[in-house]
Structure 1
């Protein structure tokens, strides 16, 4: 899941040089390169996180877009910290010439282009008969399966614990604390997100499909059988969907915890939800069987 290392890279300058940056910070530069606008320090350092989040949302179906936004966010963070470093007032921030902005956008574009060239191309899955089970009339059946990405789960716990401890260190001191508040909050958010998408429990019954997220199996996403056109399996690699975790936006979403066979729910109006889970073929077959009743 590329969002985690990108968040680490974005958070590192804020953690290392928090006390050496003015508050507020210069956040905008004029045509001549002189600083002409500012934001509170926490907001200025959080702005690249927003750019990276846009990349995560807009690029899940197109990994090169995500790469472009991720690289742009990292360069923005580095440029902002460098320009404000060791300045007592944001008006004294270093000048940024126009060519620096052009170079930054050019490098991000180059990274996106390389991602386009290097990303594997997926072939369309041919249509075919759906698999069903021999379930006699009147018989009831329930299918339950789990899947856990242990490294993601461990990273989630580490970030959540570190973020919680950092928040306690921040305490009422706020900006005067040795731990920047933005770093503590970022750790908690990354930890919670990592835990939610690191382990899942999928259940198929006559009530439909229920996907429970996280070690506590909460929250739960539900889909009734009439809202599913068909179910099938498909072998998917993380590189084909842009990485690990929850990739894409509805109605084209993939929950990628491991490479290999995934349970794919196809929607009547188009779109799909692919879930990497064990014994996916049996779950798909039960969905199709229950829908045909």
Structure 2
């Protein structure tokens, strides 16, 4: 995976999230306008509302806040003093969840009220939203930290078995990301999130038959839209998704041999985590794969760059090859 591919995937995911949140913030009051008063209660002093906005302003104001936030992050990135992926992910996820949840709480409080002064309380909804925003921010931070690739270190040239100088410990790390799978995860997640916000806002009932399949699909696709392979003296570790979970591990003693091999989606039956006559293949892009032959079980392959070097180092830590 090139830096450009990884960056484009992250940018597309962030763009879809930004546009989706903007659409929810602007459209939610308009979608419920027939059941809302001309002015919406937008501020509460305790349990009772004490301020209001016109319906159009209640839709526009949080959308403007979100627009300024996302454009500020984009501007910082273009200026070169880009915020870290961890920081940007935390702000975008937590900010989007908080604004969308608060908008849904405001709409629900005003729903079917003749006057904004009769609006219900938003305390419970805002408390739940704040907790969800904190959780989303933590996930964004962890995902950004996990996807940071350390600076490369000097390594001997690759080969069938890499010679490791006495007293040195080498690490090989490679990551692949499929931007189309990221887009699929983002789109299915937005469908589920929109249904949740609409349900929280009282526009529709809780449509679990819609929410659950799209949410599960989004999580599963996201988990297998990126992969990281890491070889150390302990063996091979392959982690999936932005959080590096789930993880598969093999010790050096578990592996008979490793090699680099070119594979295509047609050979293994498609994209993602595939089972075929070749064994298990994590196929995120056609081309070079790191292929290992465990002592027990079927072969395992993962599509990552610089697979030849990774295989050479893995053979060096395998007692059967190194001996």
Using the size of structure 1 for normalisation, the TM-score is 0.51
Structure 2: unaligned runs, 5 residues or longer: 1-158
Match of 2:169 among 140, 154, 158: 140
Match of 1:160 among 189, 193, 206: 189
Structure 2: how far apart are the matches of 1:244 and 1:178? 35
Match of 1:252 among 276, 279, 287: 279
Structure 1: how far apart are the matches of 2:212 and 2:221? 14
Q: 1:121-159: per-residue Cα shift (whole Å, max 9, x none)?
A: xxxxxxxxx811122232210001111001111211221
Q: Is the 8 A contact 1:167 1:185 kept in 2?
A: no
Equivalences for residues 37-116 of structure 1 within 5 A: none
Larger radius of gyration: 2
Structure 1: unaligned runs, 5 residues or longer: 1-129
Closer/same/farther in 2, CA of residues 179 and 250 from structure 1, 3 Å limit: farther
1:225 aligned to 2:262? no
Match of 2:229 among 198, 202, 207: 202
1:266 aligned to 2:293? yes
| Cα deviation, residue 216, structure 1 | 2.0
Q: 1:242-271: per-residue Cα shift (whole Å, max 9, x none)?
A: 110001189921100000010001112351
Q: 3-state SS of the aligned residue for 1:132? A: coil
The CA RMSD over aligned residues, in Å, is 2.5
Closer/same/farther in 2, CA of residues 167 and 251 from structure 1, 3 Å limit: farther
Q: 1:84-103: per-residue Cα shift (whole Å, max 9, x none)?
A: xxxxxxxxxxxxxxxxxxxx
What is the number of equivalent residue pairs in this alignment? 162
| Cα deviation, residue 170, structure 1 | 4.0
Equivalences for residues 163-202 of structure 1 within 5 A: 163-170=192-199, 177=204, 180-202=207-229
Structure 2: how far apart are the matches of 1:252 and 1:180? 39
| Cα deviation, residue 168, structure 1 | 3.5
Residue aligning to 1:116: none
Structure 1: how far apart are the matches of 2:295 and 2:288? 22
Q: Is the 8 A contact 2:281 2:302 kept in 1?
A: yes
Residue aligning to 1:42: none
Structure 1: how far apart are the matches of 2:246 and 2:295? 25
| Cα deviation, residue 164, structure 1 | 2.3
Structure 2: how far apart are the matches of 1:237 and 1:220? 23
Q: Is the 8 A contact 1:170 1:181 kept in 2?
A: no
Using the size of structure 2 for normalisation, the TM-score is 0.46
